[in-house]
Amino acid sequence: MVASRTLALTCVHLPARRHARVLPRSVTFDELVNALRNLDGLRDKGKVHPNFHFKSRPFLHFHSEPDGAYADIRFGGDFERVPASTAKERQELLRRVTAHVAESSTQRT
Domain coordinates in residue numbering, the chain: 9-106
Q: Is 2 helix (H, G, I), strand (E, B) or coil?
A: coil
Q: 42-99, pLDDT tens digit by residue?
A: 999 998 999 999 999 999 999 999 999 999 999 988 999 999 999 999 999 999 999 9
- Residue 108 CA: distances (Å) to CA of 34, 50, 104, 105: 27, 27, 8, 8
pLDDT tens column, 7-18 = 233 334 444 444
Residue 34 CB contacts under 8 Å (≥ 6 apart), including other chains: none
Q: What's the rounded Cα separation, in Å, for the pair 83 and 92? A: 9
pLDDT of residue 27: 84
pLDDT at 41 over 80: yes
- Nearest in space to 63 (alpha carbons), one of 53, 51, 75: 51
